[in-house]
Amino acid sequence: MTELRRDDNFQWTGESVECESGIQWAVAEQANGIVAIIVNSPGGILTGKQVRVLAEIVGEDGVIKNTRRMTSLLLIPKEKVASALQQLQGAGLRVANLHKSVRNIAACPGKGFSPNSRGDTLELAKVLDEAFYATILPWDFKIGISGCPRNCTGVQCHDLGLMAEPRGKYSLWIGGTESGMNPKHGTLVRKGIPRKQVIPVVKRILEIYTTCVEEFGEELGQKARLYHVLEKMGLERFVQGIDEVLGAPVK
Q: Domain residue spans in the chain?
A: 11-99, 106-246
* Interatomic CA distance for residues 40 and 22, integer angstroms: 18
The single-letter code of the amino acid at 97 is N
Q: At what angle do helices 198-215 and 122-132 cross, to 10 degrees?
A: 40
pLDDT at 249: 63
Closest C-alpha to 42, from 115, 78, 86, 92: 92
Residues in the chain, pLDDT under 70: 248-251
Tell me the C-alpha to C-alpha distance, in Å, between residue 246 and each of 16, 188, 201, 251.
Answer: 43, 16, 8, 13
Burial class of residue 1, CB neighbours in 10 A (0-12, 13-18, 19+): exposed
* Interatomic CA distance for residues 101 and 139, integer angstroms: 6
Q: Which fold has domain 106-246?
A: Sulfite Reductase Hemoprotein; domain 1 (3.30.413)
Q: Name the strand (E) or helix (H) holding 215.
A: helix 198-215
* Interatomic CA distance for residues 77 and 80, integer angstroms: 6
pLDDT at 67: 86
Q: Is 106-246 the same fold as 11-99?
A: no
CATH code for the part of the protein at 11-99: 3.90.480.10
